[in-house]
Amino acid sequence: MPARVVVGAQWGDEGKGKITDILAESADVVVRYQGGSNAGHTVVVGSNSFKLHLIPSGILHESTLCVMASGTIIDPICLADEMIGLRERDITCDNVRISENAHVIMPYHRLLDGLQEESRGAGSIGTTRRGIGPTYTDKTRRMPRSIRMVDLLDQGVLRDAVAAQLAQKNVIFQEMYGHAPLSVDEVIEEISGALPIVTPYVTDARAIIRGCLSRDEQVVLEGAQGTFLDLDYGTYPFVTSSHPVSGGACLGTGVAPTEIGEVIAVVKAYTTRVGAGAFVTELEDATGENLRELGAEYGTTTGRPRRCGWLDGVALRTSAELNGATGLAVTKLDVLDELETIQIATAYDIGGERVDRMPENLDHMEDARPVYEEMQGWQQPLGECKKVADLPAQARAYLDRMTELADTAIWAVSVGPEREQTVAF
Ligand code: IMP
The whole-number pLDDT of residue 47 equals 78
pTM: 0.96
Burial of 26 (0-12, 13-18, 19+ CB in 10 A): exposed
Among all residues, which ones are annotated catalytic? 13, 41
Superfamily of domain 267-424: Adenylosuccinate Synthetase, subunit A, domain 3 (3.90.170.10)
The gap from C-alpha 124 to its chain's centroid, in whole angstroms, comes to 20
If one residue of 20, 240, 241, 279 were mutated to test the ligand 1 pocket, choosing by the most ligand atoms within 8 A of its CB, it would be 240
Q: Which residues contact residue 154 at a Cβ distance below 8 angstroms, ignoring those fewer than 6 apart?
A: none
Question: How many angstroms separate the alpha carbon of residue 124 from the centre of ligand 1?
Answer: 12
Atom of ligand 1 nearest to the CA of 275: 10
CA atoms of 37 and 106, how far apart (whole Å): 12
CA atoms of 320 and 362, how far apart (whole Å): 18
The whole-number pLDDT of residue 303 equals 86
DSSP letter string, 106-135:
-HHHHHHHHHHHHHHGGG-----SSSHHHH
If one residue of 38, 109, 266 were mutated to test the ligand 1 pocket, choosing by the most ligand atoms within 8 A of its CB, it would be 38
Q: Measuring CA to CA, which residue among 165, 169, 164, 163 is closest to residue 181? A: 169
Does the fold of domain 267-424 match that of domain 103-196? Answer: no
Residue located nearest, by CA, to atom 2 of ligand 1:
240
Whether the ω angle into residue 237 lies within 30 degrees of 0, i.e. cis, is yes
Continuous segment of H or E residues that includes residue 197: helix 195-198
Superfamily of domain 103-196: Adenylosuccinate Synthetase, subunit A, domain 2 (1.10.300.10)
Residue located nearest, by CA, to atom 11 of ligand 1:
127
Residue located nearest, by CA, to atom 12 of ligand 1:
275
The whole-number pLDDT of residue 158 equals 98
Q: Are 263 and 340 in contact (CB under 8 A)?
A: no
Burial of 391 (0-12, 13-18, 19+ CB in 10 A): buried
Q: Measuring CA to CA, which residue among 185, 180, 291, 222 is closest to residue 18? A: 222
Question: How many angstroms separate the alpha carbon of residue 77 from the centre of ligand 1?
Answer: 19
Question: How many angstroms separate the alpha carbon of residue 388 from the centre of ligand 1?
Answer: 34
324 lines ligand 1 (CB under 6 A): no
Strand partners of residue 66? 30, 96
Question: How many angstroms separate the alpha carbon of residue 130 from the centre of ligand 1?
Answer: 9
pLDDT in tens, the chain (425 residues): 899 999 999 999 999 999 998 999 999 999 999 999 999 887 776 777 778 899 998 898 999 999 999 999 999 999 999 999 999 888 999 999 999 999 999 999 999 999 999 999 988 999 999 999 999 999 999 999 999 999 999 999 999 999 999 999 999 999 999 999 999 999 999 999 999 999 999 999 999 999 999 999 999 999 999 999 999 999 999 999 999 999 999 999 999 999 999 999 999 999 999 989 999 999 999 999 999 999 999 988 888 899 999 999 999 999 999 999 999 999 999 999 999 999 999 999 999 999 999 998 888 888 999 999 999 999 999 999 999 999 999 999 999 999 999 999 999 999 999 999 999 99
Question: How many angstroms separate the alpha carbon of residue 19 from the centre of ligand 1?
Answer: 20
**CATH class held by domain 3-100+201-263:** alpha beta
Domain boundaries along the sequence of the chain: 3-100+201-263, 103-196, 267-424
